[in-house]
Every structure is written in structure tokens, then in C-alpha cells.
Amino acid sequence: MARKTKEEAQKTRQQLIEAAITQFSTRGVASTTLTDIADAAGLTRGAVYWHFTSKTELFNAIWDQQLPLSDLIDERLTLDTRDDPLFTLRERFVVALQYIAHEPRQKSLLQILYHKCEFNKELTSECDIRKRIGFNYDNVRALLEKCLAQGVIDPQINIDMTLVVFHGFFSGLIKNWLMNSESINLYQQAPALVDNILATLNITRKPPVKYYVAS
């Protein structure tokens, strides 16, 4: 019986977290009350306080359990570190954009990050959240370095500068799409968008596998 009670408590806690994500992404963190979250979850305000002492604690719990975007898309990837690094980099970018476009929860999390939260010292920092659900510098750097080592891209390329450009491109793209998701079909256009940013790399040779254009 005790085990069942613990499982039910965990289910309720997760129910509140999911409701909070929806409310924060719609109303904004500052404008959302614990009552709003309780109502959205179909629970009482007392149930909220049983699991969380404050809205801040609930907000932070969202990010404490959130897996990095790179982990979430891993099972969708078909290439690995043994494949051509440029082709692998392209696939990671395309799959990440399509995952964001296809998964409402991921879209809501990004909406909170970019448009619905005024950060303060008590909240999980914007920097930490970006590391969890945003651009992964380490992964991209590693693949770019492999591209250099294998002679796929111009040896004169500045990787640090390239990372800044790529990060700015994807952050700006996602921010604009979140403001008006009807303006572009992000899922379908992801391959073309990625090809355009990769075209900024001075590619010195074609990958040994077919460089496809996903539909």
C-alpha cells in the first residue's frame, strides 16, 4: 500500500509539473498563480503545497528533471561518430529542429525560456536552462573539429566564431518561430534551413555518403 501511495504521489507531482509548463508558457511565469496551476491540473491548491512550497520551487523542478535536447533526439538519429562528421552535424541540426516543431512540450519549454520568464536569482538561471534545452556547444564543436581533421571544411575556419554564428542563427530562428509558428512550417523546412547555415562553412569536399535533402 505504501508503495502505491508513493507512486500516486509521484504521479500527482508530475501532473502539477506538466500543468505548470502549460500555464507558464501561456500566461507567463510572473502572471501564473499556484491556483492557475492547480485548476489546470484538476487538483486543489493544497495538493500543490503538498509537493511544492512555492511557485519558484515548482519552476525549478521543471528544469531539474529536464533532459538535454541532445539526449532527447538521440534515438531518432541514424548516424553515429563513425559516419562523416558534416553529414552527422546536419542530421543533428535537422532532427533537433523537427523535434522542437513536433513536440508541444518542447515548444512550451522554449516559449518559457525565450518569451515568458523574467529571470531572477531564485530561479534556475537562463544560462543553465539554455544548456539543457538549447544549442549544445560541445557536440557541435566536436563535430566541426572532426570536419577540420578530415579535410571536409576549409582549414582556415575559426571554430569559435562559427559556433557563435550557428548559435545566433538557431536561437533567432526559434525565437521568431515561437512568436508566430504559422509563419513557417518548421518541421518541413528544417532541412533547407540547416543547409543554408551549413553553406556558410567553406566545404572543401563532399561527404563520402550521399548528402541528401530531407523532405
Q: Identify whether the C-beta of residue 143 lies closer than 8 Å to the C-beta of residue 89.
A: yes
- Cα within 13 Å of Cα(75), Cβ side: 1
Please give the pLDDT value at position 206.
60
The CA–CA distances, whole Å, from 170 to 3, 23, 63 equal 44, 25, 21
87-112 per-position pLDDT tens digit: 999 999 999 999 999 999 999 999 99
* Strand, coil or helix: 153: strand
The structure's pTM equals 0.88
How does DSSP classify residue 67?
Answer: P
What domains appear along the chain, each with residue ranges and CATH number? 2-64 (1.10.10.60), 69-198 (1.10.357.10)
> In this model, does residue 15 exceed pLDDT 70?
yes
* Strand, coil or helix: 71: helix
> In this model, does residue 19 exceed pLDDT 80?
yes
